[in-house]
Amino acid sequence: MVSFTESLDYTAPGLIILPQTPQLIGLYTKIRDINTSRNEFVFCSNRIIRLLVEEGLNHLPTKEHTVTTPTGETYNGVSFEGKICGVSIMRAGESMEMGLRDCCRSVRIGKILIQRNEETAQPTLYYDKLPEDISIRYVMLLDPMLATGGSAGMAIEVLKERGVPEDRIIFLNLIACPEGIQCILKKFPSIKLVTGFIDKGLNDKNYIAPGLGDFGDRYYST
């Protein structure tokens, strides 16, 4: 086991970690447990996903907006600027789509299929379907696990090739490791990376440790 945790800059501008509250740690304890049932795993994962989406939305630009309340008073608030969309890295990333839809009604969602060679750990792009106007949107990139950063990096490259500015990409994931974070933020310093937890590193099979196993298999019971 090689750990990069000590060399990771936790204050990097693009790195956002959810507050490590007892509620959050309790949810992670459930989804890491090998004995947790599929229904409980999905329920707890969905709660974390909702927190990640809410935090991601906090990093969208706003403008001042004044409204009148039912009492006849005015309230000086804000409204969001710009359009957003979600892009899930198939298949595990699709588990995060409902959490985004719960927070953003009628949000458009694109998909990117990237598969990792289990022997080399290198990613290959197989398919992408994205909104035609994605270049003018803020993109919530969805993938539960950030391991080596290969798949996420390829997905970000696809978005940039479609005209999405790097600083309009917000990458949401449940668990990340230092190696993946360093890979992404070094190559794409202007993105926002929102994660719920940073594990200690990759094992000799390039799996996140302690991790939680294969997220897609456990979420979809396959």
Alpha helices of 104-174 — where are they, by DSSP H?
Answer: 150-161
Active site residue 214: yes
| Gap between the terminal Cα atoms of the chain | 28
Residue 192: strand pairing partners: 170
Kindly report the backbone phi and psi dihedral angles of residue 187, in degrees, each rounded to the nearest multiple of 5, phi listed first: -80, -30
Catalytic residue, chosen from 9, 133, 167, 217, is: 217
Half-sphere CA count of 65, side-chain side, radius 13 A: 8
Q: Is 61 helix (H, G, I), strand (E, B) or coil?
A: coil
Catalytic residue, chosen from 5, 120, 124, 133, is: 120
- Cis amide prior to 218 (ω within 30 degrees): no
Amino acid at 163: G
Catalytic residue, chosen from 32, 91, 116, 162, is: 116
> How are beta strands 137-142 and 83-90 bridged, if at all?
parallel
Active site residue 162: no
Active site residue 120: yes
Closest CA to 189 of 160, 151, 161: 160
> How are beta strands 62-68 and 123-129 bridged, if at all?
unpaired
Active site residue 33: no
72: number of Cβ within 10 Å: 6
Tell me which residues are annotated as active site.
116, 120, 214, 217
